[in-house]
Amino acid sequence: MHSNYLFVPLICNQCETLNNKTMEFENIVLRQEISSRGGGVEIDLTSLGFEGEKMLTYQNYLGGGMLGCVCVNDTVRANNSIVEENDTKKLDQIGEELKRYFFNLTNPDSEWESQSYEQNQKMPVSGY
């Protein structure tokens, strides 16, 4: 069973932590589809300071039992050509934590199937 809470020490040295708080994704999930062939999780960013905005993390199936890297996008940057630097950093951090959360849901840690998040991020996005 996977936890709906995840705290990840930030790897991106350009971003600041969100006060070292644990992100609670369970209460802000809008859609979630997870399978052995990837899927996605969409969250509402309102409670994180972005009123009416959303973020989506997803993972594609590459074939042969392999999953592609976990990707993320958000409506803040998709709909605005100019985004404040502080907002960009905050969105990058939320996105990184959401990607790791989703990775933990789709990649079981077992002796037969084990790939680290870092290894996964080196995979292609799509098999096409």
List pLDDT tens digits, range 10-49.
333 333 345 445 577 889 999 999 988 889 999 999 999 9
User: Which residue in 105, 101, 47, 115 sits closest to 72, CA to CA?
Assistant: 101
Please check whether residue 128 lies inside any domain of the structure. no
- Residue that wins the pLDDT comparison between 24 and 53: 53
pLDDT band at residue 112 under the 50/70/90 scheme: low
- Would you say residue 63 has pLDDT above 80? yes
Q: Which domain holds residue 62?
A: 21-108
- Which amino acid is it at 96? E
Please check whether residue 116 lies inside any domain of the structure. no
102 CB neighbour count, 10 Å cutoff = 25
Backbone conformation region of residue 40, classed left if phi is above 0, alpha if psi is from -120 to 50, else beta: beta
Please check whether residue 72 lies inside any domain of the structure. yes
pLDDT tens across 71-98, in order?
999 999 999 889 999 999 999 999 999 9
Please check whether residue 14 lies inside any domain of the structure. no
Question: What string of DSSP letters covers 30-96?
Answer: EEEEEETTEEEEEEE-GGGT-TT-EEEEEE-EEETTEE---EEEEHHHHH-S---HHHHHHHHHHHH
Q: Give the pLDDT score at 9.
A: 34
Please check whether residue 53 lies inside any domain of the structure. yes
- Residue that wins the pLDDT comparison between 23 and 100: 100
The three-state secondary structure class of 111 is coil
Domain count of the fold of the chain: 1
Please check whether residue 121 lies inside any domain of the structure. no
DSSP tag of 112 = S
- Residue that wins the pLDDT comparison between 61 and 111: 61
Distance of CA 123 to the CA centre of its chain: 15
Please check whether residue 102 lies inside any domain of the structure. yes
Please check whether residue 123 lies inside any domain of the structure. no
